[in-house]
Structures are given as C-alpha cells and as structure tokens.
Structure 1
Amino acid sequence: MYEPVRKQKDILDKLKNVDVNVDIKWDEHTGIPLRVKGLLAKAEKKDPGMAAIEFMEVNKDLYLLNSVNKEMLVKRIDTDRIGARHVRMQQVYKELPVFGSEIIVHIDADDNIKGTTGKLTPEIDLPDKAKVTGEEALKTVLEDDKNNSRGKLHAEPTLMVLSQFVKEPHLVWHVTVDGIDKDLGGDETPAKWEYFVDALNGKVVWKYNNEQGHTRTTGSGIGTYAGSVTINTLHDHGTAKYLLEDQWVPSSARVITHDANGGYPPAPVSEDNNNNWSASGQGPDVDCHLYTRMVYDYYFTVHGRDSYDDAGADMHIYANCGSGWNNATWNGSYVKIGNGDGSRYNSLCALDIIAHEWTHAVTEHTAGLVYSNESGALNESMSDVFGALISGNWLIGEEPWLPTTAPALRNMEDPTNGGQYDPANPIDSSRAGHQPDHTGDQYTGYSDNGGVHINSGIMNKAAYLIATGGTHRGIRICEGLGRDVLGLIYYQALTTHLVSSSDFSDMRDAVLDSLDDLYSSNPHYSRWRASIINAFAAVGIGTAVTCPFTCWIAPMICPPSPHVLCPPAPGFVCPPAPYICPPAPDFVCPPSPMIVCPPSPYIACPPSPGLSCLPGPDPLPYDPYIRVKNPVITLKTDIIEIVGIGRETATLFKGSSISTLGDFLKATENSKKIAELSETLGISETRIHDWRKKTLVMLGEIK
C-alpha cells in the first residue's frame, strides 16, 4: 500500500479539516491520487474552470505538480442533469499534451468541490524537441504493416508525451491510420490504428486499434434514380445495424444520410439489418447517400475543395422529408430532400438537385451571395451550373419532374422552352418550368425573393452559351469554352471575385477576371474572352464585340473549302474574289504538305482574299483539368501544383525557401511549425493545414 510523502500528508490534513471523511485512492505506481472524494472546497460562484485551476494550484503538492498553470489545461466543462459541473483538465509538459494523463474536478450545483478523478504523470523529464520528423514517423507507420499503406490518415502527426500504457514516458509522434486487424474469430476486420512513434529514435512504442464498435463496410442498394449500386456504409456492432455513413472520404469529412421518414430533422441516420438497401422506401436514402459522395468527389478532385466549407465538414443529408414535400433546401447546416407529392414531383433525391443544394453550401462559405433579387438569382444559377456540370446535362430536375409543360424544372439550354415564358405571368410561367433568357424579360417584383428562381434563367443561359457557343438573339458566341473550362472559371469567380451583393453585371466582370486568372497565356484566350463578353451581351448584359480571326494556315495560302479546289502543288495562292473563304467548319484539308489545316473550331477564315492567312501550325489541344493526384508528383514537385495555393501565395512561400512539396511538408510537420509559418507569412493556420492535407493526397500518402 502506498504511503504518502510528507507534503502530501500536509495537504491531506488540511482537506480533512474541512471534511473528516475525505477518501483517497492512490496510484501505487506514481503516488498520485486516482480518486479523491469529499467536501474539498467552496467554488464560491466562480467560473468552474477557474475554480478548478485554483483548487489544483492550492493542492498541487497532493498531485505532485510543480505549477498547475504550466502543467494543466482546461479541456472542457460538462454539466450533468443535476446541475453538477465536471471540469476535465489535460496534463501538458512544456506545452505538449501528455496522452491519457487527465484529471476531472467535480463541482456540485451548490459550488462545492466534491472530488477529483483521473491519472497524472509525475516528474516528466524529456527533451521537447523531436529528432524524427512527423513525416518520417508517418513513413514508419505505413511500413509497419503493408495494410496500413492503404489506410487513411485521420489527422496530422501530433507531437506529444506518452506516459500512460507504457513503462516510462516517451516523446512521441501520434499517428492515426486505417488498416487491418483480426477479430475474435481470427478474421480480418478494418482497424483504426493509433500509433505512437518515438520522436527521438523513430521506433514504434505502442499502438492500438481504435475501431470502436463500428466497421466501415460496403453495401448494395437500389436507388430510385441510381439503380443498383454499391454504397459505403458503417456497421454498428452494438446494435448489429448497418448505417448510411461514408467514412471512406479522403479527408476527415463524412457523408451521413438520415431518414426523416416523412418528418423533418432531427432524425436518425438511415439504418438497415443486412446492408442490402433495396427495401421499399429506401431508394431515396440510397440516392441521397451516393450522390452526396459524388458531389464531394467533384469538388475535391476538380477544385481541391474539402467538403462545402473547404475544411472537411461532415455532409449531413436528410432523405424523405415531409409529407408530399415538393422541395429541397440547404439550411446552413444540412441538406433536406423531399419525396414529392407524386403529382408535380417524385422523390427529389436526384443528382443535379443534390449537387444544386450542396453548391448553395459552397456559395455560403465563399461569396455568400445574398438570397434576394439579382444576387439571389445569381446564387440559384451558380447551383444550377454546378448541378449541370456534375450531372452531365443542361436540364435541372428532369428525373423527379412530372408536369408535361417543360422537359425539366429548369432548362439551361433554353430557359423559355421555345418562347413559352410569359413576362406578364412570371410566377405561373416559372412553376411550369419556363424562365426568362434575357434581361428584357426580367422579373422585377417582390415575389420569390425578388425573382431568385425566375431570373436565374438569365444567368443559366449565359453559362450555357459560354460552354457551348452558338447564337442567341442575333449575337454570335465566337467559340464554346467547354464544360470543364466553364467549371474552373465559375469556381474561380465564386471563390475569389464575387461578393455577397454581386449582381448580373458583377458576374460578367467576375467571369472575365477569372479567365484572366486562369487562361491569360492560353492560345484561345482572345476568342474565349470575346465569347464570354458576347454570351453576357446575348442575355442583355453589356455590348457584343467582333470575334477575333484565327487562321493557322501557311502564309498566302487560302484555307481550302468546297468553293476552292485543293491543288497538289505547294505554290497555290488564294484566288481572287468571289472565291472568298467560308467560315469554319467547311474546310477540307488539301494533300499538300506545305499547308497545315487544323480542325475547326480553332479556325476562322479571313473576310476577304486581300488578307493573308496567319502562319501555322495549330496549337495543341489544351487540357483544362486541374488534378489533385498526379502519378508524376514527387517531393521535388513545385509547390505551385498544390490545388488552390495560387501563384502569389506560392511566391510568398518561395520567399521563405519553401519551393517544393518536400520543403512544404518539412516546414509544416507539426502544429508549432505551422503556427510559426502562419505568423511569418500572414496566412491562416487552417489554410496551411488544408494545403498540407492536399499535398499528402497528391503524394499518395492519404488514400
């Protein structure tokens, strides 16, 4: 039995002067109380955290502490159902957390300190500087078990002290990864491994499987629209139920689908007995779950965005909301999807609608477009644009839409559906699936928050024209930019140029500025810029311009066409009028090797035979994609390749001798370095953490 030392006896005598029945249970190994119970002191209506700190400071000798202010931090304060407060305190050593070393100070509803429970570590004497980097510790973990190489890094390696669960304290890196373990039956089961790697010698000190009652699984299901699919689920060992929770996302984010069952949130997570989600009524749950993950993947892989807040927020979506509810909404915290009334809509858990709602969340966390008048219509249009890009066509809500008045809830290619929009009756027109496609027909009333769903058709038409080209209201779009480029430019506009009060005219400027940001050196730039200007002019915003001419044929050689015979000789020159070169795509390439004739739409002919063609050849096709993962990415790759970091910020890092991905990982290997870098460069720690996570994804170290 442990015998307290003199200074502990002195404190104990003082406590017993207040309550003679004070009871103490000692830790035989450390000599620190595991549990103290009795009326120990009066908190005197003070802040519970402050009261706990003062109590521990007065009685620090009992707990073998030197300075409570330096060795203890208030972690959280919990209040139970009878009004008692429980102040949980974390032990620290030279500002590093001591894993598993905590103590709880219990304060009752009358502000009496009634006891403490917990475990602390006395007299820690360790270096507080690591000799092994966090990156090296992670490598050790991934090499410890071949299955860990396929695991997911749950958090950045954290430097701390490990004293509980081992014989003596160690300075360690704490690393959490997914891997494989054996269950009681000897079968393989997914594991969430908590590793502790000695930060001085790089050896694994301790590890344990922290998969607590849930196992990541994959199930099968039949969606209302998705059909037969495989979905990521979770098995709850406690209830033997399967849950619609996707923890396979390449970050800390999760996709969690709830079943509102005809009601509204709060509602439980959707569950199933056998992980075969094909029962009656489960179709909307399957669609909502699968499609939300598809939305996450689009924003992450194309734009480098980690969930709607770009910080790995969980994505909660509620299926089966309301009784005959014909709507879907983002409320600032989660998405709600109705099942429709069977007359105007079936289940609204369609991919484009779900992408639409989650884009509202992205908009809230970026431009914050006010949901009223033109800024609100622009907000709605942004959601339609990304809904269309993710779903793959220009119709919004065509799957749940039941009326025969229009092909879908909204038609971005032709918002008026052949001129059916009636400016004199905008509300009924909008309900029938028709919208204006020009500011000349813009709704200016007070209904619909100033026409946010009505006037979004104007911006939708502009986006469609930018992507596809064509002619609208007599204005020609020089060259369609394509869906991929449209997505990159619109995301740039949404995240870096638009503000909460931006209107249609501001959107035009934002798109042009975004083109400058991303494609100013691209050979298509001049025509793309004119195309954007003309697309907005075609819907009534700004004035159209003449399309620039481009001709990549050898000098003085007229691009051949059905009107000009293709000679075999290289010396052929353009004939005099009336043999004027027609516009692309009527060109037919000649056999002569002296003539370079690229495919349309990259060619436009000179307007008369008096103008010579520009020298060729045609530029190589431009790859519009920005990818997070690249098979040739290495530690020596330039830091500019990190999605979202931008040229200016990359230059800022390079000014601090951080030029490559390897430099960046080394400079951000622990929280302290990140904080120092944040202060030096004036960049938030959150952004630096985010870029580090993306870097690890690029290098394939986070799956």
Structure 2
Amino acid sequence: MDRYSSLLNVKNPRQEFVLAKNTSDEFGFTHIKFNQVWQGIPVWGAQIGIHLKSNGVIYYVNGSYYPSPEISVQPKISEQEGIHSAEQHYIDNGGSPVKNAKSDLMIYTSDGKDFKLVWHIVITGEKLTDGWEYFVDANSGEIIYRLPTIRYDGPIDGSGTDSHGTTRNLHLYQSEGTYYLVDATKAMYSPPFTELNGVIATNDFGHTEGTFSLATSPSTTVSDPAYVDLSYAYSEIYDFYYDLVGRNSWDNEGMTIRTGCHFGSNYNNAFWAGGDNNIFCFGDGDGTHFGVISGAFDVCCHEFQHAVTEASAGLIYHNQQGALNEAYSDIAASVFDPDWMIGEDIYTPPIPGDALRYMDDPHRADMPATMAEFVYLPDNAEGDWGGVHINMSIPCLAFVKMVDDEPHLSREDAYRIWYRSLTTYLTNSSDFMDGRDGVLRAAEDIYGTSPDWDDIECGIKDAFAYVQLGEGCEGHGSDSVWTGDFIYYWNDDAEAYYYLNMPELDPSFEAYGYGVRFTIPSGGYNVSAVFFFIYDVWTLYDMYVGIYDTSLTAVANTTIPNDDIWYAVYGDTMSYPLLGINWNSEYSGDFYVFTWLIGDPIYDDYVSFVVDDGTGSSEERNYYLDYEGYFYPLSELYGGEEYNIVAFACVTHRESGVEESAYLLPSGELLDLSAYPSPFNSTIRLSYSIPGDGEISIKDLSGRTVKSFSSLSGDGVIEWDASDENLPSGIYFASAVSDIVPVVATRKIIFLK
C-alpha cells in the first residue's frame, strides 16, 4: 500500500492502517482486516479486508477507506463538555436518568469528504431499554449523529394458513397491541423495532403499484394467506443462505429484507425492485395463467437470489450476463425447493403438473438446452434484453448435470461452488464462459486438495461441455467441425451396428428402440444424425441417414440407393415424438412410419396425416402412438384403405388440449410456426415457414381474430407488439396457413401485461 499511496490518496498507509483482525479459514486462506486511523484517532466506518491464498498471494481486497482526513486532532471542547452535550440531548428526547457515559475521540464523515473530529460517547440509561451512541462535534459541541445501542426483545410466535392451505409457524413482532408481520429473530436484527433494521418485513401494496404499508394482524393468527406465504418463505430463505453459505441477508451486511404482496391488480409476476427501493414484489396472479405468486417457494428464492447477485457480482441485466443472472436465480431456487421445475405451484392453476420452466429439460418450455440453440434477440425491452429469460436455461442445465451426472454433487455442494464463483470471481460483465471458468476456480478452492478432485473437475467440465461451453474431459463440446463418414453393417440376425469415423470427436449417443441418435457439435450449432430403417416382413428394406440442424435444415445426408425418400422431423420440444416417414409417390405398396420418443411420454401424443383418397378432397387422420419405437404400415392404420399422403406432422395434445403441429410436404417444404418468448408482456417474435402463399392470424380463446398478417411466403419473422392492440392478458393462438397445405400450424402464446 505504501507503493500506491499517491493513487490511494493516503499519505502514509503504514501509519494510517492498523491491524484489527487476522484469521485463517478451512481452505488455508488468510483474511486480514485493518482499521483506518488519522494520527492515531480511529476513522469511523473505515475498514478494509485483504485476502491471501495459501501461497501468500493476494487475491481479493474489499471494504472501504477514505483519503487521509488531514484535520487537526486537537479538540476545542473538553471531553466533559462533549458528554454534557450528549446527555442533555438524550434527556431532552425522553431518556431515563444516565447510568453511565463513556467517550473517546473519533473522526467522523458522512460523505467521505467532510471530516470532523468528534467525541464518540456511549450513554447507558437506568432503563434497560435506554442506550445511545452519540457523535458530538469536538470543536462546536453540536450533535452530528446518534445510534441506538439497545437490542430490543419484542418478537412473538404466530401462525397462519398459506395460499396452499398449509399452516405455517411465523415470527411476528408485537407492539402496543398490534402484531406486525416482522421477523426480528435473525442475527442481523438491530433495534429499535421502529427503525426496521435487520428484520424481515412483510408489506402490503393494497393492489397498487407503488404505495405499500407494513402488514399487520389483530392477533397472532394471521388470516391473509399472502402474508403467511412471504413471512414464512423469507424467514426460511434467510436461514437457507445463512446456514449454507454464511450469507447475512441479501447484501451480506444484514440489510432488512422487505417483501410486498398484493402488487397491482391480478398481476402475473414477481420481481426484485433494487436501487433505492430494495423490496421483493409479488402479484396475486389472475387465477388462470398464474395463481398467487407468493405461493411459490422457488419463485420467492429466485427473486432473493437476484438481490444476492446484484449485491455481489452485479451481473449486468442484458445478453449473456443477464441470462447468467437469471440462471443463478433458478439454480438457487432449485436448491431451496429441491426439484428441477420452477413455478409449478402457481403456473396455470387449471392445468396440474406443469411448470413455468424445467431446468433438466428446457425444451419442455421451448427454451434452449445448448449453445447451438442460443436465441439471439435484440438488446432492448422487446428482445427481452438479449433473451435473458430464454438463454438462462443453458447454464441451468450445466448445473443440473453437475448434480444428476458425474460428479454427482449434492445440490447444496454444487450451489456452494456456484455461489463462491459468483461472490469471488465473477464481475458485472461475466458471460457464460466466465461463469464456467469461475465455477471451476471455485470448485478447486473447495475441493482442490481432495483425493476426488480430478473426478470432480472432470465432471464439472463435462457438465458444461454438455451444453457446449468449453471442452469436456473426453473432448465433448469441441468446436471442431466433424467431417468423418458413417460406417454401418448388419449381422446375421439383422441387428444394426453403427460406427463413426471421427478423428477428433467421440460423440455421445443413446439408443431409442431400433434407432440411434448421435449428437455432434459442429460449426457452432447442434446437428443430429438420425438413423431410420424399415422392414418389409423380415427383410431389410432401406435405410436413410439425415443430419439436421435445429431449424430442420438438412446439413448432410447419405442414402442407400433406391427410389424412396425419407424425411426426419423434430417436434418443437424434446417431449414430442421424433418421426420419420418413407415417402414415394410411385410406391404401390405400403407407407411405413417409425416413431420413438425423447423424454417422458405425454398422454395423447399422436401422428397426424393429411390424406387424399383421389377425389381431390383431403382430410386429416390421426394415429395415437405408443412409446416402444415401432413401425406402422399405413394400411393397418387406416384399415386397408388406399390414400395418397399430402402432408404429415408431429403433433402433441397436451393436457390443456392445445394442438401444436408442423407439417411437411412431399417436396420437403415445411409449414411451421414458432413463437418466443411466451409468456410475453409486449412484443413476440413469430418465426414462420410457409410454402406457397399464406397468412398468420392471432385468435383469442373465443376464436375471434385479433390480428392477422397476410401475403406471407417462405421463411420469415414477424415482430408483433400486442400492447398496441389494447388486448387483455390471456391465452391466444397463433396459426399459420398456406394455400397449398390443407392444414394449419398452431402455437399457443400467453400475453401478460
């Protein structure tokens, strides 16, 4: 510090910083605190921390100090005059007779610029509830500042029923016959109660969007379920962070935790209002799209983590930094409320079993799983600030893999690693790769001396490689472009064996019934090589290998020579059936369909064909699928009738009854429509693929068309600002039609104001 004294604006660091504390932790790191003084007089509130690794290298400096005060330390009023001034103010403000007064000189500043020599006086009254700390100007005798020293004891136990009908024990605060939804039982509490310092305070917005007041109850039995939700949840959340990572409130300095329920009218969201507000806000939901938001423990923790992130790394809320910010919140939520679903307790109450997001299977919520699927959106409000609520699923899945796959860390241990990365190594501009590197550094800090470290490190690398962030231990996630060949052969029992000639990659693969799906990173996006083959009685008939990217664009293909053509179609989520169909307009025999499912089965999945009986009239026929991976001759599906296939699709009927589909023509053209983000609160992007001429229409639940876009053809994107239409929040359906396809491609979208 002597070397940088001019830069620090400190005259003589060796004399102005005195040792206050020197400790070592379980990692062999040393943590030293210094108090700042000026000519031997302490500077109030000025303390710095210096942190050294076991090899003595400084890796972190924090705290605060001030430029050398450069003031006289000779007081103009005596110590007794200072005490008299403080005691007089104390008595004038209702204090009981003074029992004791202690004093010492100190340098005080409220802004780091105006320094004053003060008498620091601590007064103890005869009443146990009376105690104050005074700062008296040592030159004028003026009272500059005072703080209470008494730790009041007014908490009382209470209870109430939450939004899900569960009785919860609560910590309340009783004052003059009123019971406040204030938890003053935590280590951070600093009295008096009226200052609400270091408490967990539940507030009520009264269905406004700006004004709130402290929540109260006439008895220890709290009747408002939202009060119970927040009071109980945030008491548990404080303990969760304190016990797991030693964090003292969201700022780690014991800052009051303020929550607020009944925000707005039927408001379908929750958020952390930082800055000068510092309050966690929760709407009541509209009962259709969302239930009472405070009723979701994971959402409560998600918002708390936002405050933790803001107070530590301060990740900027846009692009990858913002998506990493959001990911940290879901990760913390999944540890506090240990499952991989987010918002399942409040999302679409009429539809049981669904969730807002699925960390272990992002495709179920139309979110990306790997960097190949990263969604590039504008860095503005309409683009969700670069897709922060969409691309967050990528680092989330890496966290899941650390727990579910090798190294099989517990959720708590995995979070400790991510937390240390956030609070120690990340900066406000850290992106996904910085997040990966920080996690590896933090893991080494914790486990580097463990005999299992090599396995842990390898598992973490593989977890990130799974989502295409860096190299895995076995080369997974390489950016190398694959240029090898497929090699295949058949044994005497007609069982298929597949090999890949790939010099630099050892791709992961999984077997699905009679097919094999290889996932190969290539050229910055995921491609999948999918093998299809069919049988005619017991004879191998033909085989097709197609490599498709996530937009269904064929990247490469290899076909055993014959006249048949195969198409591979991906559903929009990983829970859709993966389907291949043999297509040959001159083939006089049967058509065959081969299906298998990726992910967990969803009830009532079926494949839909549009058929023409030769008279020119078309109709849609559906066939419900099993999940075994079989071939279906169409003659069996349709009872021996002969039809020409006009189009086919992967279709899923979800429990909501919503039909979502994409149709393929014999020419290989695709009628498809995708929409993101959904839910959305302003602008949604509708990406379409329309053969021929067509249009897109938006309809509400009654079937009324609220918006349409005509004269569309080919591939394109429409940005629709629903806020311009004066529409209510709700479920809508976007549908694409084509003049050469006798079917409709439909997507459910959710608009939230």
TM-score class, shorter: 0.3 to 0.5
User: TM-score, normalized by length of structure 1?
Assistant: 0.47
Which protein is richer in strand relative to its size?
A: 2
User: Relative contact order: is structure 1 or structure 2 higher (C-alpha 8 Å, sep ≥ 6)?
Assistant: 1
Higher helix share: 1
